[in-house]
Amino acid sequence: MLDDAVPAGNRTPFLLECLADLRDSLRARGGDLVVRHGDVVAETMRLAREVGADAVFAAADVSSLARRRQRRLDGERIAFRLFPGVTVVPPDLLRPSGGGDHYRVFTPYWRAWSAAPRRAVLPPPEVISLPSGIRVGRIPAGPSCTGFPGGETAARRRMEAWLRDGLDDYAEGHDDLAGDRTSRLSPYLRFGCLSPLELASRGNPDFVRQLCWRDFHHQVAFAFPELNRRDYRPGRREWRDDKDALQAWMAGMTGVPIVDAGMRQLAAEGWMHNRARMITASYLVKHLRIDWRSGADHFFDLLLDGDVANNYGNWQWVAGTGNDTRPNRTFNPIRQAKRHDPDGEYVHRHVPELADVPGKLVHEPWLLGGEVGGYPPPLTPL
């Protein structure tokens, strides 16, 4: 179902390609993808009545929007059943031994998660049938999604290549900004093109730990569905209102090259290296002292992998209002840049004004005196 009332932001072209690929896969097995536009619950029930269905089955999700839909479907006069699939371990499965409805700290969750039973990884059905006479509907046309072709076919191709060529080097290279040695599989996990369970069964411990972080934020969001609106741990921060600074950060014009490179990569690709996400987020909330919600909403609008649990959970972690056990942690952008982009390649790639500034000097262009190529000075002292 395509809900006309819920914008998909920058994800729309990617989503449409995912749907087209899913339709091709279903047709190859004798079925089809039925597309309807409008309110998801109303259209689901209309289709269920049309085909004489006895039940509706869905993958369980944790966002407040998804759970409102689930409650509405559960209230209809038809059997409704939810199945796990969005995460490796269901978000409501694990409970701390000392009490509470969810884990607030990652490390004990990682231990419990690692020991938890797993569902079997099952192959897709070979044949799918569709009742005759059903109007399958049209997938809307849209622009191509550059950099990330949507759908399971592209996802599995990328996954196999990365498991073959990138997994063994992941622990050493995942923070290399210029090398870009992460899997780039998160948009496909976001839209169900890949199974996180299958990835967990094939990854090494360092990569699987990142999948556990994904599950961790989902179980937090399940217990605290207002994660995208309210401080998980309130009273820790006071924010200032500076619209000009926020706009400069969004535009990649803060005067801090590593921050601006990350923000420009986000705008151009709908994706940002994970290390750059932490650096740019920390700069907004710890240096500019601007409310994390402003930054998280901007990320959510542009990221192909943007979802409520991970986007807002990670932002709260960086802001010190969430699940970080060190709420005053601050990422020094210059130190981070010199460590993870030592030759300035990442900055050179995304900030063309600084293309002629050599090596590590690219991280502190103001040391050359005056503006360089029209590039602004930093918004705050560093």
pLDDT in the model for residue 345: 97
Which domain, by its residues, includes 188? 86-119+154-223
Give dist(CA 326, CA 320) in Å, integer: 7
What pLDDT band is residue 341 in, cutting at 50, 70 and 90?
A: very high
Residue that is written with structure tokens 């970080």 in the block:
324
* Domain shared by 195 and 95, yes or no: yes
Of the pLDDT bands very low, low, confident and very high (cuts 50, 70, 90), residue 325 is very high
Q: What is the distance between the alpha carbons of residues 337 and 341, in angstroms, rounded to a whole number? A: 5
Do 190 and 307 form a contact (C-beta atoms < 8 A)?
A: yes
Question: Is 135 a domain residue?
Answer: no
What does each C-alpha distance from 320 to 76, 234, 312 come to in angstroms? 41, 10, 12
Q: Are residues 250 and 163 in the same domain?
A: no
How many domains would you assign to the chain?
3
> 278 and 299: one domain?
yes
Q: Beta-strand (E) ranges in 61-154?
A: 79-83
DSSP string, 172-188: HHTT-TTTT-S---HHH
Structure tokens at 145: 């999604």
pLDDT of residue 185: 98
Nearest in space to 174 (alpha carbons), one of 276, 311, 304: 276
Give me the CATH number covering residue 314.
1.10.579.10
pTM of the model: 0.95
Reported confidence tier of residue 9, pLDDT bands at 50, 70, 90: low
Q: Quote the pLDDT of residue 142.
A: 81
Is residue 12 a part of any domain in this protein? Answer: yes
Closest among 294, 105, 178 to 280, alpha carbons compared: 294
Do 304 and 213 lie in one domain? The reply is: no
Residues 100 and 161 occupy one common structural domain: yes
* Beta-strand pair 79-83/55-59: parallel
Work out the average pLDDT over 314-341.
96
Beta carbons within 8 Å of 163's beta carbon, 6+ residues apart:
202, 203
Domain presence at residue 68? yes
